[in-house]
Chains A and B, each alone.
Chain A
Amino acid sequence: MSDKVLLEVKDLKKDFGDHQVLKGISTQISQGEVVAIIGPSGCGKSTFLRSLNLLEVPTGGSVVFEGKEITAPGTDVDKIRQKIGMVFQQFNLFNNLSIQDNITLAPVKLGLMGKEEAEKKARELLERVGLPSKANAYPAMLSGGQKQRIAIARSLAMNPDVMLFDEPTSALDPEMVGEVLELMKELAADGMTMVVVTHEMGFAREVATRVLFIDEGVIREENTPQEFFDHPKNQRLQEFLSKVL
């Protein structure tokens, strides 16, 4: 882990009408960090994650990615998103495209790779996520766990500098959770910077370098996994952990 700050979030706020979901969140994410975000449902953790690549447009505060304020008006958001991978709870594979095309679409259409280069990369990535035989399959033919591994491969095809995971295992059958978490562990071990909203406390404890507890739109506690789980200081966190552990 280096000290190079990739993402800097300052006083991030988000309202949906009268409902304030994020009430001012500030944190920094450095290169190589694996940050797990946990919290009760509806606490704003997904909204926070989605604000990092502007899928949700914040109503206040700023997000700086690699020195560039992406929340500033006039920023080329599409360009920045190329470097911020995202993995969704519902996988969101492109249903109309084969697995290979799912992976190659963005690099090819954005002119980052030629078709052949992208296809070669897709084969490598499919190998890496353990699904080399699925290149010509379609999303509807895959299990949830397979879909999520493909979604990760699709994201990796863009060579992102950071990857955001929005509850990547919450929509999976229990027996498929393991294969996805295993892959994420490998990514972390390879040095990928990751921000993971999750309910998998085991993963947070084992893989994360830092854990955030978000509740009612603010970060209540932020610590190393050991301290976070073994000596939680915030009372809401203590209550939360006593329910989920």
Chain B
Amino acid sequence: MQDFINEFTVNFIDDHRYRYITEGFVNTLIISFFAVLVGVAIGFLVAIIRSNHEKTGHMKIANFICQVYLTVMRGTPTMLQLLIIYYVVFMSVNVPKVFVAVVAFGLNSGAYVAEIVRSGIMSVDEGQSEAGRSLGLNYRQTMQYIVIPQAFKNVLPALGNEFIVLLKETSISGYIGLTDLTHGGDIIRGITFSAFMPLIAVALIYLLMVTGLSWCVNKLERRLRVNER
């Protein structure tokens, strides 16, 4: 027991080392939160463009751009994308690393969200949008009030999964020298040469975050399903 307390003190209390963890935790939260927003925004946009193109044949150029985006984002490792965006894209401009991470993870997640949402749009029966159009609603109104709400409900479990993956994937932020949760724990390990305590602590915090996130998604899912008896 005394060993445990000593270990704990060395890793977290001495020199306020817990701050690496708290700073990392806050950064991980910020990056994940804004990357989810960016990813969802891009994802919905790309999904709508792609499904519109599939249905009507319009928006050829936009659809092509989306295709290229999806191919690149899903075809290269996330870590490499992060490195390229930091060292190449933002090479000559001085922007906060957290911003770089939000851009990188948001762009990456957007590609996956896009395909999830597109599958959701396709899962909504064609008759739903036909009924909307037959009443005189235009394409945008039909999507906004009828198709997207149903698509969103259908893909919520998959979206929740994507958010979990994204949250955990931010753990590679250390590669651009950003103190995220994982990197924070690793810094402590580097100082104290004891791996167990900081790394397990970090793992537990991720576990808690993911559990909380799943709980929220589940709750939202149940709320959206009340009208299905």
Contact = CB atoms under 8 A, between A and B. Distances in A.
What size tier do the contact residues of chain A reach?
20 to 34
18 contacts: A55-B133, A81-B134, A81-B136, A82-B136, A84-B134, A92-B130, A92-B131, A93-B131, A96-B146, A105-B135, A105-B146, A106-B132, A106-B135, A106-B137, A109-B141, A140-B229, A158-B135, A158-B136
B228 interface: yes
A80 B227 CA distance: 32
A79 interface: yes
Given A81-B136, A92-B131, A94-B128, A138 B146 contact: no
A95 B132 CA distance: 12
A210 interface: no
Interface in A141-166: 141, 151, 154-155, 158
B145 A105 contact: yes
B67 interface: no
Interface string A36-58: 00000000000000000101000
Given A88-B130, A92-B125, A95-B150, A140 B227 contact: yes
Contacts of A138: 227-229
B128 A53 contact: no
Interface in A120-146: 138, 140-141
Nearest to B144: A109
Contacts of B150: 95-96
Nearest to B153: A96
A224 interface: no
Contacts of A1: none
A167 to B, nearest CB: 13
Contacts of A86: 131, 134-135
Contacts of B136: 78-82, 106, 110, 158
A80 B145 CA distance: 20
Given A55-B134, A78-B133, A96-B149, 12 more contacts: A78-B136, A81-B134, A85-B134, A86-B135, A88-B130, A95-B150, A95-B227, A95-B228, A110-B136, A138-B228, A154-B135, A158-B136
A169 to B, nearest CB: 16
Given A78-B137, A81-B134, A155-B135, A140 B228 contact: yes
Interface string B42-77: 000000000000000000000000000000000000
B134 A53 contact: yes
Nearest to B228: A140
Contacts of A109: 137, 141, 145
What size tier do the contact residues of chain B reach?
20 to 34
Nearest to A137: B227
B9 interface: no
A97 B148 CA distance: 12
B133 A95 contact: no
Contacts of A151: 131
Interface string B34-46: 0000000000000
A38 to B, nearest CB: 22
A81 B132 CA distance: 10
A84 B128 CA distance: 17
A26 interface: no
A85 B127 CA distance: 15
B128 A92 contact: yes
Interface string A66-99: 0000000000001111101110101011111110
Contact of A110 (B127, B128, B137, B149): B137
B138 interface: yes
A155 B133 CA distance: 12
A165 B136 CA distance: 16
Interface in B111-133: 125, 127-128, 130-133
A151 B141 CA distance: 19
Nearest to A89: B127
